[in-house]
Amino acid sequence: MHRAGQLLRAWREAFEPPLSAAEFGRRFGVPEPWPSRTVYGWEAKGKVPRAQVQKRLAELGICQPADWIEPALPDTPPEDPLPMSSDTHPFYDMHRHGYVRCATSTPEVRTADVAYNCAAIIDEAKRADAAHVDLLVYPEMCLSSYMLDDLVMQTAFLERVETAVAEVVEASKALSPVLIIGAPLMANGQLYNCALVIAAGKLLGVVPKSYLPNYREFYEKRWYAHGRNVKGASIRVNGEDVPFGTDLVFASTRNHRFKLHVEICEDMWSPAPPAIEGALAGATICTNLSASNITIGKSDERHLYARSHSARTSCAYVYSAAGHGESTTDHAWDGQGFIFELGDLIAESERFKRHPELCVADVDVERIHGDRIRNKTFDDAIEAAGRPADRFRFIQMAHNPKPGDIGLIRPIARFPFVPDREHKLDEDCYEAFNIQVDGLMRRVEATNPKSLVLGISGGLDSTHALIVAAKTVDRLGLPRDMIRCYTMPGFGTTDHTKSNAWKLMEAFHTHAEEIDIRPAATRMLEDIGHAFAGGEPVYDVTFENVQAGLRTDYLFRLAGQNNGFVIGTGDLSELALGWCTYGVGDQMSHYAVNSGVPKTLIQHLIRWAIRSEQFTHETDAVLQAVLDTEITPELVPVGEKGEVQSTEAKVGPYELNDFFLHNVMRWGLPPSKVAFMAWHAWRDIERGDWPAHFPEAARNEYDLPTIRKWMESFLRRFFQFSQFKRSAIPNGPKVSSGGALSPRGDWRAPSDAVAYVWLDELRRNVPE
């Protein structure tokens, strides 16, 4: 905490009555008001504002720039804790949600100095314990060092290695991590390059290297026997017989999804890596102890193999390579460590580092499990491989994970549907946009319409559908005016959105017309005896659906009249929540071009269209105006104070709903876990990365009660309320690997299911 925050709070509270953080921000924020959360961040979380804000606060006489680096005085009020943070409720324990904290280590090493190497391994194990690591993977032969040549066949040397193993095992008794170290060991008169799995004071098993490189600079067959056929065996280490072989999977006694397979260096480079069978036998985390020397381009090659393995076999892959300290007689070493999960790189060490480094990330074995049960090709591969689990030995792995709130160390995308790779942002947006364009192009080619009919509201969805339609006709060499656009103001339409609608139609040079639906809506409300027709301000679902239905009815009749078809504008987020009028309403169209695109991605794609100059500068200005407008169906008249109907006030923030949707639909994660992930992703705007070019003014944060509230709403809507609407949706292209909701595609569900199971899981496991 700093002195400035203390002075700021005291200054606010000196007013009569005291100024709230929100009122202070509105009254004194320059050039734009400061949100209350920002003010609280300065006061209670030790955050420091930009120089411009510091200058403004100094002008007001509140505090000086130097106060931001001065510590608070002793009477400072206690710092506000992070929302609901607690060590007592199991919700805050990442292990409760299926995470395993994994790490790679490149310890200090000296060639052939076993005592030195042993001490370095134990030091790193203690560092990992302090970081609450569950699994620590070391490099190949780290206990002895790798570049030993003929020294590895010296009896005295091998005996010292074995006693050092005992020292590591003893040291592990009081430590949390499972340790996987590398060492040369003798078995039945043969010398093997081995990986040793150690946990809680026990040597659980030993895995020999299957493939020995003996080409170019490698010469391992001179010293070691391969372990490909070592199965069902045991090895005697320090007077104790332990399981030995390539048929071992180590299964946690604390987390039944945490199953571990081990391979060594060259095994990963072989055409048939042992880790494939290990994964098919049930291992969710595959590890590789490596002493791979570094040459130009080899780092990329390691990434390629590890990424493809983790994606192809639905697992995590933890890789640790030898580094500084290995003999450089004829080689060099970079100490690369990384962790892939389902093809995603979630952590990587700094290469060529002189001193030891822990590369730490929390692996989601629950997510891995969810991917496997959805991928029936994985099931087929298990059968084709002769059910490896039937011939593998499963070694019980007792370990000591740290309980309580130890945080979460892994990237969690706030916007899982939005491309988050800045260096490939344009490419990803290009793909998403062109999937929609190509789908609509094919439908136009198949039906040969004379027109494309589109309702334009001035909102996000219809704007994006218009962008796609415009690109489609441009590529087909068709005139823009075959896109027949209609804006249809109703009782809640504002001048702002109506103006945006007209500007859009004019900027895109489409056929443009306006049809006021209020007279027809009034007549229908009169015919059905609705209270609004009698002058009462009743704005119920019927009142809204009359307008939504009329708009769709007009569009279908206009399509018939003009030999065309209706382009649907509704998006994936609305389908998930059932936020669409069924039948003769915005749920229906001839082709639903946005049905595979969630609201958060539509916003991002429109920003991309502006940034990449897909259209004219005049058009870009209108697109930006649409982005800056609050999301609203505009079916209810504007209030007395000018307030408009807000969709997100009714169904919740779309950024949260899209987060829930992705993790429930794509991975099948339980609601409490999704809430845990959302809490870590959204609780602080300063934590984690935002998508590139995401405007600061649009950045939000949510506390746990807010997340819980809107998740409960989402579960009711998604599982119980809205499936019947999705069961009858028109065609539309799938865009994201996160999934789509067409009953002919990703999602099939009964329309009369109930949400009790999911609601109960949420209420039992997420604190209020």
Catalytic sites, residue numbers: 140, 209, 265
The residue behind tokens 């007279």 is: 519
| Residue 292 labeled ligand binder | yes
Strands 178-187 and 451-455: unpaired
Q: Is 560 annotated as a binding residue?
A: no
Residues 6+ apart with CB under 8 A from 42: 4, 5, 8, 48, 49
d(CA 296, CA 566): 55
Please state the φ and ψ torsions of residue 732, each to the nearest 5 degrees. Answer: -175, 150
| 279 class by beta-carbon count within 10 Å (0-12 exposed, 13-18 middle, 19+ buried) | buried
Q: Using CA atoms, how far apart are residues 666 and 219, in angstroms rounded to an integer?
A: 46
- For the chain, how far is it from start to end, CA to CA, in angstroms? 28
How far is Cα 118 from Cα 616, in angstroms, rounded to an integer? 66
Could you tell me if 387 and 139 are in contact, meaning their C-beta atoms sit under 8 angstroms apart? no
H helical segments located in 448-583? 460-475, 495-507, 518-527, 541-561, 572-577
CA distance 467 to 437: 9
The two tokens of residue 705 are 């009660």
CA distance 481 to 65: 58
Identify any residues that bridge with 259 across adjacent strands, giving them in sequence order.
251
Report whether 545 belongs to an annotated binding site.
yes
Nearest to 157 by CA among 129, 126, 197, 117: 117
455 is in an annotated binding site: yes
460 labelled binding-site residue: yes
Q: Return left, alpha or beta for 747; rule: phi > 0 is left, psi -120 to 50 is alpha, else beta.
A: beta
Which residues are within 8 A (CB) of 529 and not within 5 positions of it... i.e. 6 or more apart? none
In angstroms, the CA 3 to CA 282 distance is: 55
Distance, in Å, from the CA atom of 726 to the CA atom of 749, rounded to the nearest integer, reads 9
Is 179 known to sit in a ligand binding site? no
Q: Is 574 annotated as a binding residue?
A: yes
> Tokens representing 97?
């949600």
Helix (H, G, I), strand (E, B) or coil at 593: coil
The answer to whether 47 is annotated as binding is no
722 is annotated as contributing to ligand binding = no
Is 353 a known ligand-binding residue?
Answer: no
456 labelled ligand-binding: yes
Token pair 């708009």: residue: 551
Cross-strand partners of 567:
591
**Residue listed under structure tokens 């002493």:** 291
DSSP type of residue 47: -
The reply to whether 117 sits in an annotated binding site is no
SS3 312: helix
Q: 502-535 b/e with 16+ CB inside 10 Å = b? A: bbbbebbebbbeebebeebbeebbeeeebebbee
Nearest Cα to Cα of residue 313 among 346, 280, 345: 280
Q: Which two tokens stand for residue 713?
A: 């709403």
Q: What is the length of the chain?
A: 768
Residue 589 annotated as binding site: no
Q: Binding site: what residues are annotated? A: 215, 292, 298, 455-462, 545, 569, 574, 579-582, 725
Q: Binding site for deamido-NAD(+): what residues are annotated? A: 545, 574, 579-582, 725
Q: Binding site for L-glutamine: what residues are annotated? A: 215, 292, 298
Q: Binding site for ATP: what residues are annotated? A: 455-462, 569
